[in-house]
Amino acid sequence: GQSLEQPSEVTAVEGAIVQINCTYQTSGFYGLSWYQQHDGGAPTFLSYNALDGLEETGRFSSFLSRSDSYGYLLLQELQMKDSASYFCAVRDPWGSGNTPLVFGKGTRLSVIA
């Protein structure tokens, strides 16, 4: 089975930088994804890391270290609209083709003025 750990809540100031960590325990591993979900909305895809290192997409970056079973999502120049829940997810190694994702419980980010 798989388990993912991420902080339940994080608060940060508008304009600042925040890092949301995710550690995972899996029997196998294909990649780490991040999703954003605003209250009442559906999750939307942010990023995917299959290899070690940093992936940057605008204000958001995602990092993966497979040897440490660890990744993080970095949000820069925080805006009020970034207040949402952020989920890390691991691709399950069994099956083939489009295998399902196992999601963490989510980190609720609150951006304050």
Partner 1 sequence: GAGVSQSPSNKVTEKGKDVELRCDPISGHTALYWYRQSLGQGLEFLIYFQGNSAPDKSGLPSDRFSAERTGGSVSTLTIQRTQQEDSAVYLCASSPSLNEQFFGPGTRLTVL
Nearer CB in complex with partner 1: 95/113: 95
Under the criterion CB under 8 A, does residue 93 sit at the interface with partner 1? no
Options 97, 109, 110, 111; binder of partner 1; rule CB under 8 A: 97
Cα–Cα distance for residue pair 107/92, rounded to 1 Å:
21
Buried b (16+ CB within 10 A) or exposed e, 50-69: eeeeebeeeebbbbbeeeeb
The nearest distance, CB 46 to partner 1, in angstroms, is: 10
Options 11, 25, 44, 79; binder of partner 1; rule CB under 8 A: 44
Amino acid making up residue 75? L
Residue 88's DSSP bridge partners are 34
* Cβ-contact 64, 71 below 8 angstroms: yes
- Report how far apart, in Å, the C-alpha atoms of 20 and of each of 27, 50, 92, 100 are: 23, 18, 21, 22
Under the criterion CB under 8 A, does residue 38 sit at the interface with partner 1? no
Q: Applying CB under 8 A, which part among 13-21, 54-62, 67-75, 97-105 lies near partner 1?
A: 97-105
Under the criterion CB under 8 A, does residue 51 sit at the interface with partner 1? no
Binding site for partner 1 (CB under 8 A): 30-31, 33, 41-45, 48, 50, 87, 89, 91, 95-106
